[in-house]
Amino acid sequence: MWKEEAIDLKLNRFFESSARVLLSFLILVIMLAILAGIGCTFYDLRLVLSGDFHAAFKTILVDMLTVLAVVEVLRTALAYFTEGRVKVTYIIDTVIVTVLTEVMAFWYRDMDWQEVAMIIALVLSLACIRIIAVRFSPRKLQHDF
């Protein structure tokens, strides 16, 4: 019986250490993606000089919001690295930032009212889920008891 528990403990430790190594590489890749996104945003500033301000600002805005979405992914990875679990609020924040990036891209083109209604419903449902996740978080429930 104790041999099985020892094997399970060793297997669990191996999994945890492997996950930490892989997550460390992932964090490095995310940091490089953020740097590349910032570089792209600065490179796209040249579009302002081309004269088409509307398209230039749209491109720069989408670039910035994309970098912010990647920052939210980094926050999620770091939370898992430090706490050993993924916070639902960080994932929802990432999705909200990504959806808002798409909304900003849609902002500059014609859309049917059904598509706009679906996006509004998605953002509102994500906001409700985030509120519920904060209200009923495991940490808060532990403090209440």
Res 7 pLDDT > 60: yes
Give the integer Cα–Cα distance in Å for 119 and 109: 14
Dihedral pair phi/psi, residue 84, rounded to 5°: 80, 10
Q: Which amino acid is at 41?
A: T
What is the mean predicted confidence (pLDDT) over 110-118? 80
Residue 1 has a pLDDT of 58
* Residue 101: Cβ within 10 Å count: 19
Residue 110 backbone dihedrals phi, psi, to 5 degrees: -75, 135
pLDDT digits (tens, 9 = 90+) for 47-101: 888 877 888 888 888 888 889 888 988 888 888 878 777 778 888 888 888 887 7
- Written as six digits, the tokens of 94 are 């990432």
Q: Burial, 73: exposed, middle or buried (Cβ in 10 Å; 0-12, 13-18, 19+)?
A: buried
Q: Tell me what pLDDT residue 33 has.
A: 94
Mean pLDDT of the chain: 83
